[in-house]
Amino acid sequence: MFKVVDKSKKDSETSLSPVDFANVPKREIDLKSLGINVKPDPTLGNKIEGDIAVDAFSSRFRRGAVRQSFRRWPDGEIPYAISTQYGPYSRSIIANAMQEYHKKTCLRFVPRDPLRHRNYIYIYPDDGCYSLVGKSGGRQPLSLDSGCIQTGTIVHELMHVTGFFHEQSRSDRDKYISIIWENIMEGAEDQFEKYGTNVVDLLGEDYDYSSIMHYGPYAFTGNGRRTIVALKPGSGDMGQRRGFSTLDMKKLNKLYSCSDKTPSITTTAKPTEKCEDTHWRCVFWSMSIFSYCERSKQIAQVECRKSCGNCDSKLVEIEENKTNGFLFVRYFIIIFYILYFIINKIDSLP
């Protein structure tokens, strides 16, 4: 039976493989067709602002001492591990969400190396969808339960990880939206708090109705009526969970000093200045008979540039023959070991 999440399995840490990035489906499965309870907006949970974990709001945060810039991940590198309870489909959707960041920003989600990474996110299927805001230190949880396995929802939660709050939390929101307090369900009023610039860094950018981080117009409604009303034109996409808005990408790239230009249709990951591997399996992947370096852009251009010989485009063009040579060596080694095994078996026969 197809399972998005299998909680009968032991929960332990693992990472995504090249196969997960290569097997992203062209169309996502309707989770409701599998009997999974999916909310209209899965990010509206029972945490602070729906999907922000309580630990993100320490007493130091409440005093306004923390801004996004202080919670950034060094060099835009975000180490991660994921639970073994996710099935192949879930892994491919999580990979697809990460790939959105790799395509459109300079941020990189890299498999956690225990020897290098003390601070990392752990993606696991707890109760609902939630995350901390920015880098909190140590192993920090990012929950993606069965109803959260949608690319847009995961992109939203990962944007919390990078250091972003919800758009309607901005200090200047009252110029752009009106909160209809009487329509909010009882006890959910605190989900609509706004924060000063000592907490939320506006990055000098305009308010964005289309942000993947904005609540929808019926968020936390108690009577089926709107809780948020736009005060200006251009709010048709308010609450969308399809993917980044143009301003989302611009803010991400500005926060992490990626580029002065807004990315749009970039299809390949931007190489880092240093040519180095970011995954401990790179050497094995580069020598594998499955030709991961040739089959996976994620491996060849992001995680294993050094082992795959892709430190720059010129090197790739000049050394095509060398790549073919590596393939020959790989096959030769495999055939040698197979023959060695067969000969030893024959010699051991009576």
Active site residues: 157
Q: How far is the C-alpha of 320 from the C-alpha of 250, rounded, in Å?
A: 36
Q: 103: Cβ–Cβ under 8 A, 6 or more apart, which residues?
A: 263, 266, 267, 268, 269
Structure tokens at 158: 């990962």
φ, ψ for residue 230 (rounded to 5)? -75, 140
Q: SS3 for 118?
A: coil
Q: How far is the C-alpha of 27 from the C-alpha of 349, rounded, in Å?
A: 54
For tokens 């399995």, the residue is 9
Bridge partners for 94 per DSSP: none
Q: Where are the beta strands (DSSP E) in 1-112?
A: 13-14, 77-83, 108-111
Q: How far is the C-alpha of 335 from the C-alpha of 343, rounded, in Å?
A: 12
**Which is nearest to 112 in space by CA: 83, 137, 80, 77?**
80
Q: Is 160 annotated as a binding residue?
A: yes
Instruction: Please state whether beta strands 108-111 and 129-131 pair in parallel, antiparallel, or not at all (unpaired).
Output: unpaired
Q: Which amino acid is at 95?
A: A
- Polymer length in residues for the chain: 350
Numbered residues of the known binding site for Zn(2+)? 156, 160, 166
Numbered residues of the known binding site? 156, 160, 166
